[in-house]
Structure 1
Amino acid sequence: MLIQKKYLESTVEITKVEEKDGKFYAYAKTSPFYPDGKGGQLGDRGKIAGVDVLYVYEKGDEIAHQVTSSIAPGIYEVAIEQKRRKDIAQQHTGQHILSAAFLEIADIETVSFHMGEEYSTIDLDVPFLESEVISESEELANRVIQSCYAIEEIITDIEGSKNYNLRKPLSYKVTGEVRLIEIDNFDVSACGGFHLNNTGEVGLIKVIDTEKVKGNLTRIYAVAGERALKYFQKYNSVLKKLSKMLTSSVDELELRVEKLLNQSRDQALLLSKISQEYATVLSQNLSNKGLVYLEGYSEVGNFLAKIGNFEESILVFYDNSKYIIASKKYDVRNFVSKLIEKFGGKGGGKSEFANYQPAKKLKFEELEEVYHEVYNSGKDQKG
């Protein structure tokens, strides 16, 4: 892998250790551990003196290592997770290739890059990204990967960088040594992160999602290397299970799901209509005095609360999960508050309609007791 020399050191000198909120931080002036977030890249993990390193970040002119337990200042051997470094290099090299592919295919520039534990994001300087552009850029990126182009590390300065066709020009404020990553004749970019020696080591790169961000940018989500393989394994497994459950081939799965969704919508509409009709019938036979208690399907309860004549009563409808409470006479919020006070749970709503989610189903006698306790005096009636 192409890694700067300072990240290949085998020791680190810890100058001080701090404890904050039960967490331990070991500080060093320089460290072979790459900091999280630097250049958009993930940081290293591993051990210092046998103690696990959980997170690494730059703090001023120091490198802070969050460790699992305290260690004394001193010089220690380090053990850095090489598998993680390989994954980081695959994602980072893949990002360079994909960013260059978008520039080649559609003249779209990369604004920023962030590597996460599951996927990487690339913010592109375009408000909308057509699916054809994504496909063509992805195909070009994978052709570059399959071509096994050599990747070179070039150490120069700001003046020397002008001899290369950089994908993104350097700021005039840059001073000192400049590290360039050159991928054959396909891409040259300034970068301090981890990279592979050959594009073939990336294996594969896949765009898995897109979204519009910050008004005029489009964010793409991508995975490369072993992450891409795991992504395909996961979704292949899901598709196979769905195919078996729905007795449909993978090729026909989309049509099968669409048909089921249409059927589900039709059935939901029919159920809603039946519930409304049933609620209408129920409302005609209910008492309009005191506490009216019913149990049933939630849609029936909701319709009943809307159309029922509860001028002199309060409806308490249990749908096997929550209580639907309605009244035109009483402020039902007081009823809900008292239920929560006595039996726990949660709830809320408006004066004429509210829901109460109990910790457990209540007995009718318990509901009736609360009703009399809250409303018997008449003080909580509306108006």
Structure 2
Amino acid sequence: MGKAAPGCLPGARSPILPPMTRPLYHDPYQPLTFAASVVDVQGQEVALAATAFYPESGGQSSDVGLLRWPGSEARVTHARKDKATGTVWHRVDGELPPVGAEVTGEVDPGPRWRHTQRHSAEHLLAQAFRRVNPAFEVASVNMTGPECTIDFLGDPGEADIRAAEALLRETLGRDELTLETPIVPEAELVNYPLRRESKVGGQVRLVMFRGSDGDFFDVSACGGTHVPGAAMCAPVVILRTERVRGGQVRVVFMAGEEASEYLSGVYQSARTLAQEFSAPVDKLPERVAALRADLSAARADADALRARLAAQLVAAASAEGTPPLRLLTLDNAALLAPVLTAVPAGEVLAAVGPGGRCGVASAHPDVKAGDVLRAALAVTGGKGGGKPDLAQGSTADEGGFLEAVRQVL
């Protein structure tokens, strides 16, 4: 008789589902090292009777870490929850522990803490937006990277976004909000000020941040991990906003240690830049604005000088044939456009510059610049096009382009 597949009995008509995994990750004070038995193995995944590894869900990444058992250990790279059975499956890189083995799990504290700060900040920031305007409802969230996102309905504008950020900053600065995670029957949810309707029924886990005055700041049905005190996810910084599908506004934010590291890096870069500009950091925007104004003026002066030089170059080139044709070889490709726009009335002008940049301009009623350019490039190789009065492109034969134009005309 062949060997039965894991989780099945010989002759069974359907697999026996492994038992539900007892979650240990909901308690913020639960040690990240735990002991449990292996109840099933499938492929490279291991199911445990209990686990402190948070399984990826609700926009939050899974925990990672180690499984140890007598004589061996393996890396846990991902955890997922089977919604049908409640079993948490741990993807293992390397050797697998056998069914029945007693293992010690070790959740990496760094990723767990970052994920916890991100998720808590998402709740609090969403509530801050709701308090600015109840129309700002959450459509979706993602907290799988340092830059987290919340997609909002209600079209919050820049003033709303800054108001929500300021409200949350003030709230976290008071250091009063503490975490409560009761599990309540679905029928009792009406007794709580839920920010959004619960998507689960039965016994529902609530994540509540309550102030010392007893008032709730945020109440949500959630199975994620969260900080014991709201101030522990500070600072919460909005980086930018984007308009996404369905008219929703995506708010990109960072929280906790990741936000602090980001802000520190931004400040160091700003300080370095300020030193190069001989300005204090707080005056850097003014200094940059002044430099941009100087640059704009310099560009305008350069454009005027190029236009004057182009007119002189065109005037110095003699016209030949009928229709009158002027040919120019340029030593600066930036002069191509101003030269072409300086073509005299009733004439045709062709020019070529460094890198094969070329063009034809026509102020003659019977000559179409685009047609002439394409015909010349058919001889010399290259590509380009344009309108009847001006066409530009690039050629593979700088030396032969002007002669090709002469032959076309």
- What is the TM-score normalised by the length of structure 1? 0.74
Match of 1:95 in 2: 122
| 1:241 has 2:276 as partner | no
- Kindly provide the amino acid, as one letter, of the partner of residue 45 in structure 1: V
Partner-residue secondary structure (3-state), 1:325: strand
What are the within-5 Å matches in structure 2 for residues 8-27 of structure 1?
15-17=41-43, 26-27=44-45
What are the within-5 Å matches in structure 2 for residues 1-383 of structure 1?
3-4=25-26, 15-17=41-43, 26-28=44-46, 33-36=53-56, 38-47=57-66, 49-51=73-75, 53=77, 71=95, 74=98, 78-107=105-134, 108-131=136-159, 133-146=160-173, 147-171=175-199, 174-184=200-210, 185-286=216-317, 292-298=328-334, 300-308=335-343, 314-318=350-354, 322-327=355-360, 328=369, 330-332=372-374, 335=377, 349-350=385-386, 353-356=391-394, 367-368=398-399, 375=404, 381=408
Q: Alpha carbons of 1:316 and 1:178: their partners in 2 closer, same or farther (altered >3 Å)?
A: same
- Kindly provide the amino acid, as one letter, of the partner of residue 62 in structure 2: G
Match of 1:343 in 2: none
Q: Alpha carbons of 1:14 and 1:239: their partners in 2 closer, same or farther (altered >3 Å)?
A: farther
More deviation in 276-285 or 135-144?
A: 135-144
- Kindly provide the amino acid, as one letter, of the partner of residue 50 in structure 1: A
Q: Alpha carbons of 1:70 and 1:266: their partners in 2 closer, same or farther (altered >3 Å)?
A: same
**How far off its partner does 1:177 sit?**
3.1
CA distance in 1 between partners of 2:391 and 2:107 (Å)? 60
More deviation in 41-50 or 113-122?
A: 41-50
Structure 1 vs Structure 2: percent identity of aligned residues? 22
CA RMSD for the aligned pairs? 4.0
CA contact (8 A) 1:294 1:316 kept: yes
**How far off its partner does 1:88 sit?**
0.8
Partner-residue secondary structure (3-state), 2:194: coil
CA contact (8 A) 1:314 1:330 kept: no
**How far off its partner does 1:229 sit?**
0.9
Which residues of structure 1 form unaligned runs of 5+?
A: 18-25, 341-346
Q: Alpha carbons of 1:368 and 1:16: their partners in 2 closer, same or farther (altered >3 Å)?
A: farther
Partner-residue secondary structure (3-state), 1:208: strand
**How far off its partner does 1:9 sit?**
6.0
**How far off its partner does 1:312 sit?**
7.5
CA distance in 1 between partners of 2:337 and 2:244 (Å)? 39
Match of 1:20 in 2: none
- Kindly provide the amino acid, as one letter, of the partner of residue 289 in structure 2: E
CA contact (8 A) 2:350 2:405 kept: no
**How far off its partner does 1:225 sit?**
0.8
- Kindly provide the amino acid, as one letter, of the partner of residue 326 in structure 1: G
CA contact (8 A) 2:279 2:287 kept: yes
CA distance in 2 between partners of 1:179 and 1:301 (Å)? 70
CA contact (8 A) 1:153 1:180 kept: yes
